[in-house]
Structure 1
Amino acid sequence: MRIALISDIHANIEALDAVLADIDAAGDAEAIYHLGDLVGYASNPHAVIDRLRTRGIAGIAGNYDSTVASAYKHCGCKSESPRQETLAHISFEYTRSVIDAEHRRYLGALPFSMDLRPLGGHTNGPRLILVHGTPTLNTLYWTEERPDAFCLRMAEEVRMRPGDVLAFGHTHKPWHRHVAGKHFINAGSVGRPKDGNWMAGYVRLTLGESPDPQVEFVRVPYDIESTIAGLRMAELPEEFAEFLRTGGGLG
């Protein structure tokens, strides 16, 4: 079974549409799931939510989704400098100001996690567990530098067995590691990559064709100039445009 995993769209409808077009063109994904952070930083939160709803793409709440839905004081994003902190607040206040009640309710209804058996509940096949940050917090950053012991501690939280897959996002940097037969996948970011590559990213996950899951990281070009034009029309900071152009070089 082939599954597409998308994460951290961040109101970038052009990037989302490019990724969905690429998935459709491949024609072999039996399911698509999102890993949260649908809104924030770009100017089209309603369009992103509507596209996912129209396509019937299920998924979970990112920290941005849950904080916008609950009118929390901050997005829960990690800032590395005072300017980044300022930009995070500008983005959060913009998103809170434009999101309407219907779309806020949708964000608020997203579950914290999903626990799936893609090969069917009657088989002993692998589980696919979806979270945004970690199984304990959707604000905790699970970077590639985390030691194996951290991965195994998170695996214990959801009772993973060898062959199971735990997928997440939040850091906007894709990676895959397997520890003690358990697989950990960061799906990267559709709409706001931070790995130095501006193109939209997603994961093609194949389960059941071999003992271990097959993981492919895919990058897709998109109409970034339209996204940047939307940022400018919304009078969002120019740093957001440069962040997109450089794949996270600034922000």
Structure 2
Amino acid sequence: MRIAVLADIHGNVLALDAVLEDLRRRGGAELFVNLGDSVSGPLWPRETMERLQALNLPTVRGNHDRRVAAGPHDEMWASDLYARERLTAAQREVLFTQPLTLEIAPGVIAFHARPDDDEKYLADTVVNSQLVRAPLAAIRRRLKALDPGCRIALCGHSHRAELIRIPDGPIIFNPGSIGCPAYDDSTPPAHVSEQGSPHARYGIVTLDGAGQPDLFEAIAVDYDHEAAARQAEHAGRPEWAHALRTGFMSG
């Protein structure tokens, strides 16, 4: 069985469509999962939400989904507010009621950031203002809330593609971000996450006949990122435009 793993679309419907077309060319998948943060960003939140609702994918709630749906107006980040103003009340309700975790196949559990928190990093830490892989001991501690029967943990949030096998534990797979290749976060300690290229990222997990992981693929797809960058500029977000063009926050 092939599982298509989508994460962190952030309102970039052009990148989402490119990923779906690439997946079609590769023969599709029997199961899909969306790891959240679907619409927040100065791009096409309404169009992205409509596309995802038509697909009706199993989806978990990300921290920005929660903020867009129910965050106090005066505390919302600019990207969340942009999306909130362009979604219907019914669409916001859909975002808010998505589950924090979801078992999409036996032993395969999906969540956005951590199994018990939609905003704290699972496999990452901040070093010199940059997201890097966290020490194994820290990752183990953060997995304590995970169901002990989990064999594969699918997560997003950091926008960094990762594949980590925990000794005597699950395999953690983060496919990277479809629609937002770099971001900065002022939450202490302030940091950036940079994929290093403008490509849309997604993943495919292949399970063998016994349901065991046989293949993990982290895929980078080219798309019209220049059009996405121009949309961000039109929305008054030059830093987003730079990230969409380059995969970096500076330079």
- Both proteins in one fold, TM over 0.5: yes
Q: 2:127 corresponds to which residue?
A: none
TM-align CA RMSD: 2.0
Q: 2:128 corresponds to which residue?
A: none
More displaced, 198-207 or 41-50?
Answer: 41-50
Shift of 1:154: 3.6
Q: 1:248 corresponds to which residue?
A: 248
Question: Where in structure 2 are the equivalents of 1:8-157 lying within 5 Å?
Answer: 8-72=8-72, 73-74=74-75, 89-117=77-105, 126-142=106-122, 143=124, 145-157=133-145
The CA deviation string for residues 203-223 of structure 1, in whole angstroms up to 9 with x for no partner, is 110112574442110000011
Shift of 1:181: 4.5
Following the alignment from structure 1 to structure 2, what is the Cα–Cα distance between the partners of residues 5 and 74? Answer: 31
Following the alignment from structure 1 to structure 2, what is the Cα–Cα distance between the partners of residues 11 and 240? Answer: 12
Q: 2:157 corresponds to which residue?
A: 170
For 1:39, what is the secondary structure of its paired residue? coil
- Measured at CA, do residues 212 and 172 of structure 1 come closer, stay the same or move farther in structure 2, by a change above 3 Å? same
- Measured at CA, do residues 11 and 250 of structure 1 come closer, stay the same or move farther in structure 2, by a change above 3 Å? farther
Q: 1:224 corresponds to which residue?
A: 225
The CA deviation string for residues 145-166 of structure 1, in whole angstroms up to 9 with x for no partner, is 22222333343312234x7001
Extract unaligned runs of 5+ from structure 1: 76-88, 118-125
Extract unaligned runs of 5+ from structure 2: 125-131, 182-193
Residue of 171, 174, 178 corresponding to 1:190: 178
Shift of 1:48: 1.0
For 2:46, what is the secondary structure of its paired residue? helix
Shift of 1:246: 1.4
Q: Give the letter aligned to residue 94 of structure 2.
A: Y
Shift of 1:64: 0.4
More displaced, 31-40 or 179-188?
Answer: 179-188
Following the alignment from structure 2 to structure 1, what is the Cα–Cα distance between the partners of residues 75 and 84? Answer: 10
Shift of 1:224: 1.1
Following the alignment from structure 1 to structure 2, what is the Cα–Cα distance between the partners of residues 10 and 173? Answer: 14
Higher strand share: 2
Matched-pair contact (CA < 8 Å) for 2:112–2:155: yes
TM-score (norm: length of structure 2): 0.84
TM-score (norm: length of structure 1): 0.84
For 1:203, what is the secondary structure of its paired residue? strand
Q: Give the letter aligned to residue 187 of structure 1.
A: P
Following the alignment from structure 1 to structure 2, what is the Cα–Cα distance between the partners of residues 250 and 37? Answer: 23
The CA deviation string for residues 32-82 of structure 1, in whole angstroms up to 9 with x for no partner, is 11000011223211111111111221211110001111133545xxxxxxx
Q: 2:184 corresponds to which residue?
A: none
What is the aligned length? Answer: 228
Q: Give the letter aligned to residue 176 of structure 1.
A: L
Shift of 1:24: 1.2
Identity fraction in percent? 31
The CA deviation string for residues 171-210 of structure 1, in whole angstroms up to 9 with x for no partner, is 1010101012420111210001231121000011011257
Matched-pair contact (CA < 8 Å) for 2:33–2:104: no
Following the alignment from structure 1 to structure 2, what is the Cα–Cα distance between the partners of residues 181 and 94? Answer: 40
Following the alignment from structure 2 to structure 1, what is the Cα–Cα distance between the partners of residues 110 and 143? Answer: 12
Following the alignment from structure 1 to structure 2, what is the Cα–Cα distance between the partners of residues 107 and 248? Answer: 28
